[in-house]
Amino acid sequence: MDASPAAGQPPSPHADRPRSLSTPLERLPGVGTARAEKLVRLELVTASDALMHFPREYRDFSGAHAVADFREGEHASIAGEVTSVAARTTAGGRPLLTVLLACRDGNVRAVWFNMPFMNRRFAAGMRVVIAGMPKKSGLIWELNHPEVRWLSSEEQPHASDWLAIYPLAEGVPQAVVRAAVQAALTHVADLPAEAFPPDVLAAKSLLPIGEALREIHCPSSQSMIDAARRRFVYQELFMLQLALRMHRERQQRDHAAPTIDIDARLDSRIRARFPFPFTPAQRRVCGEIAADMRCPRPMNRLLQGDVGSGKTAVAIYAMLAVAATPVKMDGDPSAREEPTTAAKPAEKPLRHQAAIMAPTELLARQHMATLERLLAGSGVEVQLLVGGQPAKERKRILARMQSGEAGIVVGTQALVCGETAKFRNLGLVVIDEQHRFGVLQRATLQQGGTDPHVLVMTATPIPRTIAHAVYGDLDVSVLDEQPPGRQPVRTYRVGPEQLDQWWQFCCKKLAEGRQGYVVVPAVDESKRELASISSTLEALANGPLEAFRLGLVHGRMKPKEKAAIMDSFRAGEIDVLLATSVIEVGIDVPQATIMTILDADSFGLAQLHQLRGRVARGPTQGICGAVTASADSSVPRIEAFVATTDGFALAEQDLLLRGPGELVGTRQSGAPPLYLADLLRDSSVVAEARRDALELFARDPSLSAPSWSRLRELILKRWGEQLGLGKVG
């Protein structure tokens, strides 16, 4: 029992105290402590959190269907009267509830297993709407575990015709989330402040916040769902664009980068090092990079180019320019502080340094080999920094980096970015094959005094709208052209009954002197998977490929072993390389021109395209066979893969098939997560929000106008910390 309040003290708060947005959910009627505790798992703590927890989709609950409209596999909702309620236990001992409904044009059965508490909720004569997937069971349509709306019940006073389905977390059922949202909508007196000034709402036909919130949770029609979603999607993207702009401006204001001036002489000197002339696209992109690096602001450029388009050459061009540029001491404040240290007996002027980071060690080693080849006799010192180097060796390399003598450092991302790796004059960082590199990592990379220029390269082409939304503060260059003589890889789909024929075809090509890959999927490269890979190797070596020299490379091998295998493959001592997807990214052995992808259905589209890129490197037409488990089950991914070799087209397909989150890896990448916006579905809103945000930013870059103060606050709250924009207030 509570002690009664001492005389003279104000009464303690109780239930009818007005609720505000900041009221904890447990204090809202109909929520309570037990539910509130669950809701924490969804990071829902206050009434406002619940209001801003948007539905993921909606179910038609209008009850407008008739039995005659039912189709297997199509969601339906139907109204009817309960005519019988039967609860029994199945032969297997499971409670089973069967409710029979008399509907407008016939009877429908609803069944629930293992939900004995449902029994009490039905009685003959009740009118309900049930919604779910109808299935024909004998002569009658049956709905398994349908959602139910009791007509004229107090359960859901605001139940509308469209039932919101919320994103959930483990152990937090739909009903609990719904109860919290409904309670917040019903009992909270105030509303979140409107982010947009009234004239903007009117001009953009955006629903005002109150109406939008009501409609997004309890929509009155499909068109209101669309209108409410549009408002929040627009707001989310508009805010993100502004945040990225602010971030970028801050970068440019607060961060200085070395000026790298590539004059005509340096340009031709660098290009002369390559055994081929640059393609027009490569020349154009080199020009864009040169223009960026000429400014004393850090370059922030994303280079997109399909597999094989020659991104590495562009990166090397930029790195050589940096490594050839002497460090200017006069502009350096630290030099000015100590004027007495002038005139060191510098035989070699100190130059800027460049680093290239690869996602795998294999790729880092390959870049190293390329650089060594190109730079033979140039006097530029190149160092490789990867895992597993002896401590002494590592120490020596770190010292070369720190002293500034290592002009170019090649490594894996973790190492080059690591705590201990310090450069003396880092002028450029290239991040290769990185579609998992977002704004946030770049933000960390760029902290400190003078910053390097940054070039991010990706072979997973991101449609422009997406790139703008996710990498809004990056400039984008595109290598939209392959080096001359490239031919699209001829791609076949190989069903089980064509497999023998495929191997015969491979053998013929191999006998003509080609080299090739056989790729097997591996998720975790566990012992079991490796065992199955070994048995595949054995089966090939004793079967279809017995006439050829086989090699094996997988992710669990020691980097040195991997490198050794790759070297002998490159040297032609191995005809066919059996590999897991470690070869997916970037590996470049131009004379390998035939590839077999086993279990192709278990790869993603982007991955398949990357894999195929391995055999599109030389003048000989590449051939790729995608082996699938069954001939008839048509996997749309495989269809798309066989049909086109255009990486951009495939990227869009991939988006359609998988959703943008996975493609750009927003989750893992530190790229901004979006709550509501679906970058593909909402691409027109993406473009509109971006345009409007840029326009506002041009007029009022700090959002200082009073009418935008609320939006500014929201942006800082959502993005401020991550993007280093400062805190609210």
Q: What is the contact surface with Mg ion in residues (CB under 5 A)?
A: 312, 586
Shorter beta-carbon distance to ligand ADP: residue 459 or 703:
459
The neighbour count for residue 721, using CB atoms within 10 Å, is 12
Q: Which residues pair with 553 in a beta bridge?
A: 579
Shorter beta-carbon distance to Mg ion: residue 489 or 714:
489
In the bound state, the residue with its beta carbon closest to ligand ADP is: 310
User: From the list 24, 590, 659, 724, which residue makes contact with ligand ADP (rule: CB under 6 A)?
Assistant: 590
Question: Residue 341 Cβ, how far from ligand ADP at the closest point, in Å?
Answer: 42
Using CB under 6 A, which residues numbered 614 to 633 contact ligand ADP?
Answer: 617
> What sections of 410-496 are H helices per DSSP?
413-416, 439-445, 464-470
From start to end of 171-277, where are the E strands?
Answer: none
Say which residues have a Cβ less than 8 Å from residue 212's Cβ, sequence separation at least 6.
Answer: 206, 227, 228, 231, 232
**Contact criterion met (CB below 8 Å) for 256 and 325:** no
Question: Residue 79 Cβ, how far from Mg ion at the closest point, in Å?
Answer: 59
Shorter beta-carbon distance to ligand ADP: residue 129 or 583:
583
Residue 434 binds ligand ADP (CB under 6 A): no
When CB distances are held under 5 to 8 angstroms depending on the partner's kind, the choice from ligand ADP, Mg ion, none that residue 278 binds is: ligand ADP
When CB distances are held under 5 to 8 angstroms depending on the partner's kind, the choice from Mg ion, ligand ADP, none that residue 279 binds is: ligand ADP
Strands 162-165 and 453-458, sheet pairing: unpaired
In terms of phi and psi (left: phi > 0; alpha: psi -120 to 50; beta: otherwise), the region of 308 is: left
Residue 483 binds ligand ADP (CB under 6 A): yes
Question: Residue 617 Cβ, how far from ligand ADP at the closest point, in Å?
Answer: 5
When CB distances are held under 5 to 8 angstroms depending on the partner's kind, the choice from ligand ADP, Mg ion, none that residue 309 binds is: ligand ADP
Shorter beta-carbon distance to ligand ADP: residue 97 or 307:
307
Question: Residue 216 Cβ, how far from Mg ion at the closest point, in Å?
Answer: 43
Shorter beta-carbon distance to ligand ADP: residue 458 or 666:
458
Say which residues have a Cβ less than 8 Å from residue 421's Cβ, sequence separation at least 6.
Answer: 385, 398, 401, 411, 415
Using CB under 6 A, which residues numbered 448 to 477 contact ligand ADP?
Answer: 459
**Contact criterion met (CB below 8 Å) for 119 and 82:** no
- C-alpha to C-alpha distance for 434 and 360, rounded to whole angstroms: 11
Question: How far separated are the first and last CA of the chain, in Å rounded?
Answer: 43
Q: Which residues pair with 19 in a beta bridge?
A: 188
Question: Residue 696 Cβ, how far from ligand ADP at the closest point, in Å?
Answer: 37
**DSSP assignments along 318-338, one per residue:** HHHHHHTSBPPSTT-HHHHH-
Shorter beta-carbon distance to ligand ADP: residue 260 or 616:
616
Strands 353-358 and 426-431, sheet pairing: parallel
Q: Which long-range contacts (CB under 8 A, 24 or more apart) does 414-417 make?
A: 414/387, 415/385, 415/386, 415/387, 416/355, 416/357, 416/385, 417/357, 417/445
Question: Residue 586 Cβ, how far from Mg ion at the closest point, in Å?
Answer: 4
**Contact criterion met (CB below 8 Å) for 615 and 623:** yes
Shorter beta-carbon distance to ligand ADP: residue 78 or 313:
313
When CB distances are held under 5 to 8 angstroms depending on the partner's kind, the choice from Mg ion, ligand ADP, none that residue 610 binds is: none
The piece of 45-53, 57-65, 584-592, 661-669 that touches ligand ADP (CB under 6 A) is 584-592
Using CB under 6 A, which residues numbered 312 to 341 contact ligand ADP?
Answer: 312-313
User: From the list 147, 249, 588, 646, which residue makes contact with ligand ADP (rule: CB under 6 A)?
Assistant: 588
Strand arrangement of the beta sheet that strand 95-103 belongs to: 134-137, 140-144, 106-113, 95-103, 76-89, 127-132, 147-150
**Contact criterion met (CB below 8 Å) for 264 and 287:** no
Shorter beta-carbon distance to Mg ion: residue 148 or 315:
315
When CB distances are held under 5 to 8 angstroms depending on the partner's kind, the choice from ligand ADP, Mg ion, none that residue 192 binds is: none
**CB environment 550-578: b (16+ within 10 A), e (fewer):** bbbbbbbbebeebbebbeebbeeebbbbb
Question: Residue 641 Cβ, how far from ligand ADP at the closest point, in Å?
Answer: 18
Using CB under 6 A, which residues numbered 260 to 289 contact ligand ADP?
Answer: 276, 278-279, 282
- C-alpha to C-alpha distance for 69 and 63, rounded to whole angstroms: 12
- C-alpha to C-alpha distance for 403 and 423, rounded to whole angstroms: 7
Question: Residue 238 Cβ, how far from Mg ion at the closest point, in Å?
Answer: 35
When CB distances are held under 5 to 8 angstroms depending on the partner's kind, the choice from Mg ion, ligand ADP, none that residue 551 binds is: none
Shorter beta-carbon distance to ligand ADP: residue 305 or 359:
305
In the bound state, the residue with its beta carbon closest to Mg ion is: 586
When CB distances are held under 5 to 8 angstroms depending on the partner's kind, the choice from Mg ion, ligand ADP, none that residue 590 binds is: ligand ADP
Shorter beta-carbon distance to ligand ADP: residue 134 or 310:
310
For ligand ADP (CB under 6 A), the number of binding residues is 18
When CB distances are held under 5 to 8 angstroms depending on the partner's kind, the choice from ligand ADP, Mg ion, none that residue 653 binds is: none
Question: Residue 474 Cβ, how far from ligand ADP at the closest point, in Å?
Answer: 18
Q: Which helix (H) or strand (E) holds 506?
A: helix 499-511
Grouping H, G, I as helix, E, B as strand and the rest as coil, residue 83 is strand
Shorter beta-carbon distance to ligand ADP: residue 29 or 287:
287
Question: Residue 431 Cβ, how far from ligand ADP at the closest point, in Å?
Answer: 13
Question: Residue 359 Cβ, how far from ligand ADP at the closest point, in Å?
Answer: 12
Shorter beta-carbon distance to ligand ADP: residue 563 or 679:
563
Strand arrangement of the beta sheet that strand 490-494 belongs to: 490-494, 623-627, 592-597, 515-519, 576-579, 550-553
Shorter beta-carbon distance to ligand ADP: residue 311 or 400:
311
Question: Residue 309 Cβ, how far from ligand ADP at the closest point, in Å?
Answer: 4
Using CB under 6 A, which residues numbered 298 to 317 contact ligand ADP?
Answer: 305, 307-313
**Contact criterion met (CB below 8 Å) for 615 and 536:** no
**Interaction site with ligand ADP (CB under 6 A):** 276, 278-279, 282, 305, 307-313, 459, 483, 586, 588, 590, 617
